[in-house]
Structures are given as structure tokens and as C-alpha cells.
Chain A
């Protein structure tokens, strides 16, 4: 038996070793990842981010170099913190906070220690950097705005946050990523692809040469320049007109769906969100919950469309043969239906057929047309669904599919919608009559209004609105070049277009005419309410206007929305005329109107609900 002691010991040790190897190399081992390997240093080479040009080739966004101090916590060795802090212009507390944050993120991976050094600070620091082990300087490219307009369209770039880094391995701590506007929509095209060098380190953290002779290294691929559909001059003019007001302007080229301008007011200077002051400024803008400059009202502000919606009500009624262009009613200044309070009308009264109904914006006429569309067909539910389908074919009630990252669906009610509201199914045209005049349950955003206008201008189709005009060495998504047709037959558009044209000739917008340009448009005035100390309080009406011009072969379709601007023609209408003249003529001759708009401030109006005192509206 004695011979077996060593024999079994050898076998036992052999098995023990193989189990230990199995544990170390198979059971607990992770798949090898060069990025996680701390024997390999990763050096990134960031490419030029693509420039952004406006439709006329004007440079809007370029780049400027920026230097970040990065830290890899486990490689940090005791250092002269006093000197280091003074070089970085930070204090000891900030040093400790940044260091702990970096270590908390990962002791192995690099984090940003101090971002966006100025060129001067960088020059001083660079010479002394060798003394501070574990720290290094990463060059990046920041945005340099050549303009002060279009912040909402251009968007901004900022450091990728942790959830993005986890989802998309391309991004590392400290990388910049588009966060809003075209910077976000066209992030992939603009950013290019960063290059990476893998460098073999030794245990003293010295570089000993490229890993595998640079086999895995990549060279950076430059970001592509993009041209956007915005007309910088028109955009600037729109922003100027909207100063001291809140709301949005959306202008679209009907023949292409290109967004000529997308104004949101109030806005901010895009240069505020660049560099070391970015985060302070961003917080300030973000915390302004009253005027919300970061919210793009052109895309996000849902509201009742008001009278411009009547154009669609008319088209749907024509399509369903509920009315003909010559169908007439007699308006008594109010529309009576059932036993309810009658719907008021400001058209002045008299005999109204389609043309004058639109021109004078007669509520009674459209209440009648709507009622005939819904109730005249027998089954109100089926009829409402058909009506809803027609309206939605103008791009309302759902996301439009444009290439900006934010949006709202709006709302176009159908039968199911009211069945939920009235569970006993006891509803009919009169129950929902407010929709006839663009109030009630209909909700739209300014860009949806502008797109709807473009569809009317084109007499029955539209192109999905988009902000991208051209990508360097690339083609556009086909969804922006294929027309989308509405469900209204072409012949029904002419009488409606004529009505919209007569708005300027004999209707509500006679004083808004622009010499030499045939404009079709529609005023809109939307009642609105807020809660003050939980009491529902009416505020001054929103001023809304839609228009396209010229009447034939239209070049621009526009929707303007001015919060609490009172009646449609008052501010939205004036702004519309000025925008159209500016775009079509390149200059503005309506100097008096321009002066009026520029000098008007609605700040007093916006302050009313917060004043704590009773106030007057609509005067």
C-alpha cells in the first residue's frame, strides 16, 4: 500500500490544478475585450464633425478645438494637488469631487476630469502633464456657431451620458453626442467615425509600441457636411418678428416638403450651449419653466387649430357630397342646434355659400356642413370614421414622420374616441359640433398646420416635411421624395382655394394683403383656458394664421401661432404676410406693418395669469 501515497498525491494534485484552471480560465473568465484590457492603452482620434449649411450654402455650424483633462483613477499616483488644481483653475473640493465621480464610474476606464479647457490653459498644462500620472489630455472638437439663430433646429451636442454609453458601445465616457435638433437626427452622419489606436503598455504604464503593429487600429473617418432646408435669412427674420412673443412659425416649400423655417419663441442663442459654461447655461434655460425656451413650440405646442381647420371640414364635406360649392345657408349670427346654447358667429350674418363662408369664417356655415357630413349619411359613427380618415390624410392626428427628433401626435377624434367618452353611444353631430370650427377635441401642432396648408396648396398631396436637404456623398431617404396623397379628390380643392384667396380679397384678412403677391390664407382664433388657483380661467385667445403663396404654383406654405395674440389676423396674420413677402421678394415693403409687429410685446399679456389680480382679456 505504501507505494500509493505518492501515486495518489500526484493524481490528486493534477486534478486539483485542472479544476483550478477551469475555475480561473473557463468558469470566471470573461470574453477578452480589447477595450477592457488594461494592458492596452486606447488612444482616440476624433474626426471633424460635419458642418451644417443652410439651403443657400450659408455656413451655420462649424467646429472649434477643445481640450478635456481625462483621468484613469487606478493609474493615478500621489501628486502635487495644489499645483495641479491651480493649473486647472479648480479648487481642492472640486478635485476630490471629480476624482470620486470618476472612480465611482470605473477605476479602469477613462473619465472626464475637467472639460473644455481654453487654448491658453491647455498650452500651460500640456508641458506639465507628464508629472501627473493617470491624467492625460484628450483633444475634442466642439461646435462653433457661425450664427445666433435656429437653436431649436440646430440642436446641440453634449457629453454622452451613462445610459447611452451602455446602449451604444461606440460612445465612451466624455464623447460628445448630438442631443437635440439636427445634431441628434443626423448624429451618425455628422460625427463620422473616430479612429482608435491600441498601444501595448508595460506594467510601469509606459507605451512599448502599437499593439500587434496596429492591426486593429482604425483611422478616423470625417463627419459628413449636411445642408439643411432652412433659409437662414427667413429663419432670422421669423425669430426677429417673434421677439417678445411666444409661439411658433413653420414654413414649408409645398413642392418638396422642405422646411424653410421653423421658429420657436422664445428661443436662445446656440452659442450659450458651447464650452465650459454649457452646463450652467443649460440649467438656467431648463429651469425657465414659464417661457420654456428649450421647448420647440413649432413641433411640440399642441393646440386647437381654430378656423383654419374649416378648410378641411369643407373639403371633407365636399368629398362626401354633404355640400356643394353652391350650398348656402342663412346666418343669423348664431347657429342653433338641439336645445343647447347656440354657437355664436362673428361673420356679420347673411346668406353664406362656401366661398363667403370661408372668406368670412362663418361658424354657422361650417357647423351646418359638418352636421350634414356626419348625420346626413345615416350612421353617424361610420360617417365620423370616414371624416376622421379624410382629415388624417392631411397628416393630422399622428406623427408626421419628419426628421427632427421630437413631435406630438395631435388628435383627430373618430367614433371609437367618442364611444369611450359617451359609453351609452348616445352622441351625434350636434354633440361634437365644436370640431366643425376647429375647437372641441381637435388638436394640432404648428408643423401639422403648415403641412396641412402645403397639402391644400398642392391641391391634394404633400411631401413629408423634412429638415435635411443634402448629405455629403449620400442620398436622402426616399420617404422625403415620394408624395403622399390626401383622400380628397382634386376637383374639390379649387373652390376651397378660391375661398382662402378671398379671405384676403373680401374676408377677414383684407388689411393683410401684400402688393404683387396672391396669397391664400385663413385666420384662426382659439379660445384657451388655464387654471389659476384651481379655477378655470379664460385667457386672451391664441392668434393663428395659415397661408400659402402664390395662389398658383405655390412656393411657401406657412402656419403661425402666437400664444394669447387675440384674433388671428391681428398678430399671426401680420407675421404671415411679412414672412411671405420676405421669402418671395427677399425684402419687406410693408414697413409700417413690420414696425408694428417688431414693437409689439406680449410679455404683459403673459404676465397676467401670474399677477394674482383680476385681468381683462381679448381687448
Chain B
């Protein structure tokens, strides 16, 4: 009896408290963003806030379930979970329901379920399982390709369902692989690719080439070793080819609406009429959300007092743009609070991950932190106009049962694994 009750307190309560804070604060903002009229029936399930409240209650059941399953189960059955999850994604092509242009939902009665949300957790388990296998050496190119395949399958499946945002989330696993020993040149190549893309799109190929050449010559001068002329020329040629490739990719492969988002973000569009048209269409959300955040000022307009939130000026405000409600009604204080809670949650998970004795737990913990981090980065970055518009939810905050449960599963599997680390000793 005593031993049993003692065991419960081995869960990491800091993570749990941060998790609860986000869910509670998130719900208040969903309430504010989706209510209409003066009287509020909190359990009105025709309204997002009512539904979300039910999802939250169900979440507690889910948490109890997740914590009561034996920790070993997750490791042992990770492959099965992964395969089942992939099948659920494939199944969408046959049974999926199309919402807003993405075929990402199963309709069950009046409820919808979004398997791509759960696929992130499944992939994290699979990657952890694969890397922690004694036969895996991440420096081995063959193993690199295999783990890459594990990650790319769900990424491609969601991309085919027109859910570009979720695809980008799988980039989060780079942090996991890098932590587990992926060679450093991958980081170099990754960062270079991002820089090259931005440079070539913003300033054109010529300027990008000149910058590349100057950098290569500069690094040769600074290096004490003998200049490697052939290698340098090779690097430059590759960089220029990539630059051309990116231009081609941007102009010929990306769809017009994706081009627009990038051109607006990089301020490439100069034609005022086109800009005006953008502001009325997809950039409308961004424009309104920035205005809502700005109008909050330092202290905010107060809970349920935001005129832009009440007037529903920001479309999708209770889902992807929920942070603009925080901005308007809770001001700089409230917004900074949310950012800090997220940062604390991420750092806590990261810290716990480093403490794990089992590699499986550590890799999984890293996966959890990376996935939440990418969501946090893209969602809040997008709502504040720092990165191009990419539609993914803010974890634990945005309206949506699938997302809430998927992140609950993601986090509480890790809490369970973490609680088990003493047992493993």
C-alpha cells in the first residue's frame, strides 16, 4: 500500500504542472475566442470551448491510462504502434474526410480524428527504438538511411494529404539524431542549405554566389593549413548549383499560394496591388493577428475584453491563431508568460531526457522536446509574423481534441518512462 502510493510521486510533477498550466490557460483563451453572446454555457458542445472542455476531461482519463501501462510496453510495442499509425495514415486516402483542403480526418459520428497528430508520437517511439538498438550505429550511412526512412514515411504521407505544416514537424528529428551522434557535417549542410535558400530567394543567385566565394576565400585565408583549391572550387560550384536549384524549386515546384507566403515573408513582393490582394487573402490572418497582439499593449485588454477577439477579426483564432488572443487580452505580460512556460516545459523535458539511463527513454524524450519545440517555433513565429504562414497548432493551447490527446500521449509516455528510470537501476 505504502509502496504503491509512494510510486505515484515519482512522476515529474514540474512537467505535469507546466502541462496543466498550458491546458488551463489555453482553454480560457479558446473560451474567449469562440464564445459569442453574453451568457456562457461552459458545456455547450456545439461551441469549441464546450467541446474542448470535454476533451480536457477525457484527457485526464487518458493520462491515468498512459501512466498505468507498464513502461516496458512502450519500448516493446513501439514498432507495432508505428506500423499501426502508418496504416491509419494510409487509410485516410480511402476513408479520409476533407477539411479545408487537407484530407487529414476520420469522421466518427460528429467527431473527427486526425491521425497525423498521433503519428508524431508513434514516429518518436519508433526512432527511439531504432536508435537504441544495440546494432544501430548512427555514424553508419546504412543506419542513417534506415532511420531516415522511418521518419520520411509519415512525412510524405501527410504531405500527400496536403498537410504541409505537419510534414515540416518531422524536421524536428534532426535534433534527436544530432544528439545521438549524427556527424557534424549534417548540421553544417543543414544550416548552409537554409542560409543559401534565404539568400538566393531574397538577393538572387549572383549576390549569393559572390557571398559564397568570399566566404570560401576568407575561410582559406583564416585557416592555418595549406589552401585546398580544388575542394574550394567544388564547394562553390555545389553552392551555386543549389542556389539555382532553390530558385527552380521556388518558381516551378511550389504552388502559387506557397510562393506568395514566402515572397511576403521575405518582402519580395513590391507591387502594391498584389500586396493589397495578399492582405485581403492569406495575409489577412497575419495582418489581423499582428494587430490584435499589438493592441494588447503591456497589460492586455483583459480576459474576454479584447474587441478584436470578440469581433472575431482573426479567422481561426481558436485554433492556429490562439496566441493572438493571448496577445490582445493578456498583453505583453500574458504573452511573455506563455512563452516562458513553453521554454520551461521544453527545458525540463530536455533536462529529464539527459538524466535517462536507458537510451530508448533519452531518445524518446529528445523526440518529445524537439516536436513540441518545432510547433512552438512555427506557430508563435507565424502568428507574430516572424516566419511564413504554416498552419500547425500551438501544443496544448489550440482548440482540437486530436492535437490535445496526441500531445498528452507524447508527453505522458515520457513521464511514465522517466518515472521508471529508478526501477531500471
Contact = CB atoms under 8 A, between A and B. Distances in A.
A6 B342 contact: no
Given A14-B339, A14-B340, A37-B307, A21 B373 contact: no
Nearest to A210: B38
B342 A9 contact: no
A31 interface: yes
7 contacts: A16-B386, A18-B339, A18-B340, A21-B336, A25-B332, A29-B296, A209-B37
B346 A10 contact: yes
Nearest to B292: A39
Given A5-B187, A18-B336, A32-B301, A39 B311 contact: yes
A211 B308 CA distance: 11
B297 A25 contact: yes
A17 interface: yes
Contacts of A406: none
A21 B339 contact: yes
A533 to B, nearest CB: 58
B325 interface: no
A3 B354 contact: yes
Contacts of A212: 305
B52 interface: no
For B301, B343, B366, which residue has the most chain A Cβ atoms within 10 angstroms? B343
Contact of A203 (B187, B288, B327): B288
A13 B332 contact: no
Given A6-B350, A208-B36, A37 B295 contact: yes
Interface footprint category on A: 35 or more
Nearest to A213: B38
A22 interface: yes
Interface string B372-383: 010011001100
A18 to B, nearest CB: 5
B295 A6 contact: no
Contacts of B293: 21, 24-25
Nearest to A20: B384
B298 A208 contact: no
Given A25-B296, A200-B310, A208-B311, A2 B327 contact: no
B311 A201 contact: yes
B294 A29 contact: yes
Interface stretch (B173-181, B220-228, B267-275): B173-181
Interface of B is mostly: helix
Contacts of B377: 13
A192 to B, nearest CB: 28
Interface in A197-220: 200-203, 208-209, 211-213
A3 B307 CA distance: 44
B312 A202 contact: yes
Contacts, number: 113
A168 B172 CA distance: 57
B275 to A, nearest CB: 15
A123 interface: no
A32 B347 CA distance: 36
Contacts of B381: 13, 17
Q: What 10 A-B pairs have minimum CB-CB distances, sorted nearest first?
A: A39-B307, A14-B343, A25-B332, A39-B311, A6-B175, A203-B313, A202-B311, A29-B297, A17-B339, A10-B346
Nearest to B354: A3
B175 A22 contact: no
A126 interface: no
Interface of A is mostly: helix
Contacts of A602: none
B165 interface: no
B370 interface: yes
A25 B294 contact: yes
Interface string B346-374: 11001000100000000000100110010
Given A2-B178, A6-B366, A24-B327, A203 B301 contact: no
Nearest to A198: B307
A124 interface: no
A569 B17 CA distance: 101
A93 interface: no
Given A2-B178, A39-B308, A208-B36, A25 B327 contact: yes
Interface string B32-50: 0000111000000000000
A96 interface: no
B347 A10 contact: yes
B172 to A, nearest CB: 9
Contacts of A17: 339, 380-381, 384, 386
B179 to A, nearest CB: 5
Given A3-B179, A6-B179, A10-B347, 15 more contacts: A3-B350, A6-B366, A6-B369, A10-B346, A13-B343, A13-B373, A14-B339, A20-B386, A21-B336, A28-B294, A29-B297, A32-B301, A39-B311, A200-B311, A203-B312
Contacts of A432: none
B315 interface: yes
A26 interface: yes
A24 B384 contact: yes
Contacts of B179: 2-3, 5-6
A540 to B, nearest CB: 67
B78 interface: no
B75 interface: no
B331 interface: yes
Nearest to A201: B311
A21 B335 contact: yes
B299 to A, nearest CB: 9
Contacts of B366: 6
B298 A26 contact: yes
A98 B346 CA distance: 57
Given A14-B343, A202-B311, A211-B307, A21 B384 contact: yes
B290 interface: yes
A550 B354 CA distance: 110
Nearest to B330: A25
Contacts of A201: 311
B181 A2 contact: yes
Interface in A19-78: 20-22, 24-26, 28-29, 31-32, 37, 39-40
A37 B309 CA distance: 12
A11 B374 CA distance: 13
Contact of A21 (B312, B332, B354, B369): B332
Contacts of A610: none
A7 interface: yes
B313 A39 contact: yes
B343 A11 contact: yes
A594 to B, nearest CB: 68
For A5, A10, A11, A29, which residue has the most chain B Cβ atoms within 10 angstroms? A10
Contact of A22 (B308, B314, B332, B369): B332
A56 B298 CA distance: 60
